Structure 1
Amino acid sequence: MALTRRRITIEESPCSLCGTGDEDVMHLFTGCGFSFGVWSIVGQWCNFTHILAFDFSDLLQIHEMVKGGKWAKKVIRGIIMVTCWAIWKSRNDKVFRGITPKVAEVVATVKSCSFLWLKSRSNFANIVWKDWVLNPLYML
């Protein structure tokens, strides 16, 4: 979509992950069936009833609705950012390497990368993997 707006002619390209809809930021992160599966599992893991996002900016504001202190909001914000990165990476793996992504693998990437990010970049150096995979806010 961005290339078309810049008058660069390309073949029509439906979403690489779900095969439906035009592949733009809004669809890829909020309207894609594949991404919906990822967000559903990440939401359950973070103890959200649902992650509702109608626009990409909605995703970037989810952490503001988290009950808890500053660190709870930071942890959730980090998880949202890692999830966006993992979805984008899976899209690129499909387009450029022909690898068909799986929702469970993307969620596993989100959990492991966000764990490593938090463990190395915060005061939570003592977090434990077996507790993290059950509830990312267990230490708060």
Structure 2
Amino acid sequence: MEHALLECPVAKDLWRRVLRWWNMGGFSFSNMEQLFKGSKPNDQTNSISSLWQAVTWVTGYSIWRNRNLALFQKKKGSGPTMLNEVQIKSFEWISRRSKKLKFEWIQWLVNPSFVEDHG
């Protein structure tokens, strides 16, 4: 599981892209527990921490989904395509489920950690 979601070249490439998107270039995960318990840099607020946790779950899902597509349907996703999938799915999930957080698509793409909490 750790190899599939963290260590294989496809997973590493996607995590590198996601971390760059979030301006967290020096941050990394050492194991699955750290990843899925919402591990984050210490300077994130609770609302941003929740967003980051959602993004980590969507990224894990995207890696797993693309791995299955490659294995069973011989369709291989590229890093930019997978990042786009993570951005779209996480935006849709968060924007539909949260009434307290307000943000626009362009803001999400440019700086997802700058979201207004209206709670």
Using the alignment, how far apart are the partners of 2:103 and 2:67 within structure 1? 30
Count residues in correspondence: 116
Mapping of 1:1-140 within 5 angstroms? Answer: 25-124=1-100, 126-140=102-116
**Alignment RMSD (CA, Å):** 1.7
For 2:41, the aligned partner's letter is M
Q: Which has the higher helix share?
A: 2
Residues 92-122 of structure 1 deviation map (CA, whole Å, 9 limit, x = unaligned): 1111111011111111000000000111000
Which SS does the other structure have where 1:59 is aligned?
helix
Using the alignment, how far apart are the partners of 1:66 and 1:118 within structure 2? 22
Which SS does the other structure have where 1:65 is aligned?
coil
Q: Percent same amino acid among aligned pairs?
A: 21
Using the alignment, how far apart are the partners of 1:99 and 1:30 within structure 2? 20
More relative contact order in 1 or in 2 (CA 8 Å, sep 6+)? Answer: 2
Q: Which runs of 5+ in 2 are unaligned?
A: none
Report the TM-score, using the length of structure 2 for normalisation.
0.88
Are 1:82 and 1:113, in contact at CA under 8 Å, matched by a contact in 2? yes
Are 1:118 and 1:124, in contact at CA under 8 Å, matched by a contact in 2? no
Using the alignment, how far apart are the partners of 1:91 and 1:122 within structure 2? 30
Report the TM-score, using the length of structure 1 for normalisation.
0.75
